[in-house]
Amino acid sequence: MTDRMTPLELMTKLVGFPTVSRDTNIPLIDWVADYLAGHGIESHRYIDPEQPKHALFAHVGPWEKGAVVLSGHTDVVPVDGQPWDTDPFEVVERDGRYFGRGTCDMKGFDALAIWALVEAHHAGIRRPLQIALSFDEEVGCTGAPPMIEAMQPVLPKGSMVIVGEPSLMKAVTGHKGGTGFNTHIKGFEVHSSLLHTGVNAIMYGAKLIDWANDMNAANMAATPSDTAAMFVPPFTTCHVGMIDGGTAHNITAKDCRFAMDFRVVPGEDKAQWEAAYRAKAAEIEALMQAVVPETSIEVTRRFDVPGLKPEAEGEAETMVRMLTGDNAGHVVSYGTEAGQFQEAGYSAVICGPGSIEQAHQPNEYIDKSEFEAGHAFMRRLIERLQG
């Protein structure tokens, strides 16, 4: 039998795998599967047919419905260009903190979940426990839906999910939904001295981006609904974080590409925001084609993440409040896989160690006290499952 590793040893091992979203996560999943097998726990996989990515899920305890599911993602954001003081893929303890990419978001929780699954298996729990480790959360939560679907015929259906995104171990019961669109403006190249005869894809793309600025300003100025007022900021946001295009400074740009993302307040219709964006794109495309007919704007969906809706006396929320003693109401503006589990029929809540303020940052860290609080939470959960 494999030795039982501590949560810190597990986190150190997981952080050592550089599972940036653009790269494979298979070595990490292989290691987790082998570690669980060493404790007599069978794991299962969803294998992505289009890229080298695997998700892993497993079940311990009675082979029956009603499991508590611990959900985490295995991918992390890039470290490119960030001024790290330490090796990002090595856990370094300093000043009461554990530094390393993913310590906060969210390999710290993944380690605690793996620890809990093994401990629960050896403890002989009476209510089952499951773990679900996804991929590509950081690029639009695209890996969780096929994983959740793959779980259904293989494992007994769990009844509640705890998604361990960093929440300072508070019970987060709601978050905004998200949808994003890759946008490709196809212009027409001419010498910039004759720009009126060409179509500068960047400059027409700027019109579309400026529409997003106008929408943000209007949303900010409007009186928020009761639901929106729970969030920071209290409105739906439109955002472009990267842009690419052009050939030279004296040529009208033939191409411009960017992603337009929306973080939508629960209760608002994401489809309406998509329709508004596509309508504006069509309006600008008509202006382009009036100059050069073969120009165009292509808008394709990049991701679509449902919001997490607060549940009236939800099972997941009730369990987490019982284990943490947190009875306050919390919502967040970032998206997670919790809404996807909720859509699949699970009661869902977010609760994990660390603060979202440290996520994605250079010198990402999780406070040692937060990690220990997560460990205590898992111990109490196991005791509850032994019931």
* Beta strand residue intervals within the chain, DSSP E: 43-47, 54-60, 68-73, 92-94, 97-99, 129-134, 160-163, 172-175, 177-186, 237-239, 243-245, 255-264, 296-305, 330-332, 347-350, 365-367
Handedness of CA 87, 378, 342, 222 (dihedral sign): negative
Average pLDDT score over residue span 4-32: 98
For the segment(s) 7-173+307-386, the CATH number from 3.90.330.10, 3.10.20.90, 3.40.630.10, 3.90.209.20 is 3.40.630.10
Q: Is the pLDDT of residue 107 over 80?
A: yes
Q: Tell me the C-alpha distance between 336 and 351, whole Å.
A: 11
Instruction: Give per-residue pLDDT as tens, 159-183.
Output: 999 999 999 999 999 999 999 999 9
Q: What are the structure tokens assigned to 251, written together?
A: 């040529």
Q: Tell me the C-alpha distance between 113 and 82, whole Å.
A: 29
Segments of the chain assigned to CATH 3.40.630.10: 7-173+307-386
Confidence of residue 313 (pLDDT cuts 50, 70, 90): confident
Q: Is the pLDDT of residue 223 over 90?
A: yes
% of the chain exceeding 70 in pLDDT: 100
What class does CATH assign to 177-305? Answer: alpha beta
Segments of the chain assigned to CATH 3.30.70.360: 177-305
pLDDT of amino acid 360: 95
Confidence of residue 1 (pLDDT cuts 50, 70, 90): low
DSSP 131: E
Q: What are the structure tokens assigned to 50, written together?
A: 């289009």
Average pLDDT score over residue span 300-314: 91
Confidence of residue 136 (pLDDT cuts 50, 70, 90): very high
> Whose structure tokens read 């997941």?
316
Q: Do residues 113 and 129 lie in contact, with contact meaning Cβ atoms separated by under 8 Å?
A: no
